[in-house]
A and B are shown apart, each in its own frame.
Chain A
Amino acid sequence: MSEYLVNIQHEKLSFFTPAGEVKALNDVTIQMKEGEVLGIVGESGSGKSVTAYSIMGLTAYNGKIMGGTVEFNGRRIDQMSERELRKIRGKEVSIIFQDPMTSLNPVYTIGNQIEEVIRLHTDKKGAQIHQRARELLSLVGINEPEKRLRQYPHELSGGMRQRVMIAIALACEPKLLIADEPTTALDVTIQAQILELMQELKEKLGMGIIMITHDLGVVASMCDYIAVMYAGEIVEYGTAEDIFYNPQHEYTKGLLKSIPKFHEKEYSKLVPIEGQPVDMLNPPKGCPFAPRCTSCMKICLNRKPEKTEFEGVHYSRCWLQQKKEYEAAMKGGNN
């Protein structure tokens, strides 16, 4: 058995589109132990969903893993057949999608959709399946479960539907739950309910969670570790404390400065990251963030930065850090 629940090493993944090859993931490495909560933050198109989906072997028809390995619970996902994958999906790894409005099937009842998962992945039969479905709905805080099981998705509100999605995801007590922007489509008061629920369930069931989001507020309260992605690369990785209190990459710093400080009284102007997101069809040659970076140097435009490691698990990929390290080493050498 591997010590990691998820072990992605140097994954490269491309999508082949009519316009050309899009290198969605570029040397992504993620390791995660059981019961941990990992947050992946980044802008749309930064590859955060693609990374997480590849743990389930879910790459779109035009996507292909071009290098590296993806391991889940000691097994190579990238070498599995579709049949083997189907046994894992929904059982050991499950997923909650962003939009609860479109990810439930409108022509089946809620009961139907929850029971399907239980029927496929467990030995339970008949009444047991129904019983389990009812338990799951109570677990996610839906009242009158018996009535809800007979209802169709359109009869439920957005928050309720997201709870149903969570119930489906938890049906087989997975080891890993991937939550892809689980609260983005919901209102704040409902978002607070769902985050609270996920926190509770995590403590109760002890599963690992990968939380994909663009909302730094959401990761701050929930995650043990955070990976910041930009243009298909992890530009910084560390514990929540590392990322929020000691950010090293210019992009992370920029992100933190660009959100309104809500709980502080004095007004401070937002500091946006100038420029536009990367065009993934024509990514820059060097550091992907270089064109928008205020401290961009010559080398940044030409060569990809190496990993710089800080205390603990914290690392970033930025030439500025490399430069500091180099200078420190030079000074040390002179002494």
Chain B
Amino acid sequence: METKNLLEIEHLKQYFPVAGSRNVVKAVDDVSFFIKKGETFGLVGESGCGKTTTGRSILRLTEPTSGKIVYDGEVIFDSENNIKADMLPYRRKMQIVFQDPYASLDPRMTVGDIVGEAIDIHKLCSNGKERRERIISLLQTVGLNSEHANRYPHEFSGGQRQRVGIARALAVNPEFIVCDEPVSALDVSIQAQVVNMFEELQQELGLTYLFIAHDLSVVNHISNRIGVMYLGHMVEMAESDELIFHSVHPYTKSLISAIPIADPRKARASKRIILSGDVPSPLNPPSGCAFRTRCPYADETCAQCAPQFREVSRGHYAACHHIDKIN
């Protein structure tokens, strides 16, 4: 089934200056992808690979260095033609749920005010009564109740706080939500609650998600398609099952095999691909392919030129010189 693309990202770059030097950190370096309406696009990678920055740049919470962002057919950012749309109307459509439910809620505001702030900014309710009802219905949507509205964030557990964060994002009836590691800070039993809630909300409200996480098993569970990032680059992108069971990029393969299996017999029988070394510093990335310093297949070509991010089979993209040799 062909559905419309809600979001198109082309050659997105996000460079950050380094204090005291002329160097830049290429946090996101030439990333292109699209998200279809109503789907969940998962973005995985290790810390520092630029997945969170990608999410924030799309919302223009940090202004991208260059590239093009098209939301629902409208260009909201285009460095070539110097288009920078006013974001306020788009904030109603695009929202974000942050990683840390402890740091992303103002400790001096009540939960009601945290959820209500967006309603005020966008003038969604005409009077106080309506506002209050709206806040309560939002809290109920995320499994909290009306009495929670008068409490402060510190009175809640991690899982409940994350629910508040979700209620806040839902306050403006958005179409698209960037979920930035929304379950990483939660206990396993609570993670499942929140993941299920994301799925239910998506079905009820027809939401589209960009789901960012480092935990591939959670991402695989919730996503229709997955993109894998490494050191600012997108290295592989495909439908979830295709990516997990038929990955072609050596980094994705090692990432998948590194996930501990919660099954003792299988875990003991499985053979892990253990990558040597660490992720290089993004300040001083390797020449050519970013992954070559840890890649078991790397050779001269990899050092000399960066591989193209190309379609290897229908809907399956990867950036590697040796795909044919490896697979």
Contact = CB atoms under 8 A, between A and B. Distances in A.
Contacts of B259: 188, 217, 262
B267 interface: yes
B192 A276 contact: no
B189 A188 contact: no
A147 to B, nearest CB: 15
A188 B196 contact: no
Contacts of B118: none
Given A188-B255, A189-B46, A220-B260, A255 B157 contact: no
Nearest to B260: A217
B44 to A, nearest CB: 9
B206 to A, nearest CB: 19
Contacts of B241: 265
Interface stretch (A63-71, A72-80, A86-94, A192-200): A192-200
Interface residues of B, number: 45
Given A157-B278, A220-B267, A221-B267, A260 B188 contact: no
Interface in B247-267: 254-255, 257-267
Nearest to A45: B187
Contacts of A157: 278-279
Nearest to B49: A187
Contacts of A160: 278
B255 A216 contact: no
B216 interface: yes
A274 interface: yes
Interface residues of A, number: 44
A60 B42 CA distance: 41
Contacts of B221: 260, 262, 267, 270
Contact of B192 (A43, A265, A267, A272): A272
A271 B191 CA distance: 10
Contacts of B215: 188
Contacts, number: 129
B299 to A, nearest CB: 21
Given A187-B214, A188-B216, A262-B259, A221 B268 contact: yes
Interface in A235-280: 240-241, 244-245, 254-260, 262-263, 265, 267, 269-274, 276-277
Contacts of A220: 260-264, 267
Interface string B2-17: 0000000000000000
Interface string B212-238: 001111101100000000000000000
Contacts of B195: 260, 270, 272
B46 to A, nearest CB: 4
Contact of B262 (A43, A216, A272, A274): A216
Interface of B: 46-47, 157, 159-160, 187-193, 195-196, 199, 214-218, 220-221, 241, 244-245, 254-255, 257-268, 272, 274-276, 278-279
Interface of A: 43-44, 157, 159-160, 187-193, 195-196, 214-218, 220-221, 240-241, 244-245, 254-260, 262-263, 265, 267, 269-274, 276-277
Query: Sorted from nearest, which 8 A-B pairs have the closest CB atoms?
Result: A217-B260, A272-B192, A258-B192, A221-B267, A187-B46, A260-B221, A192-B258, A262-B217
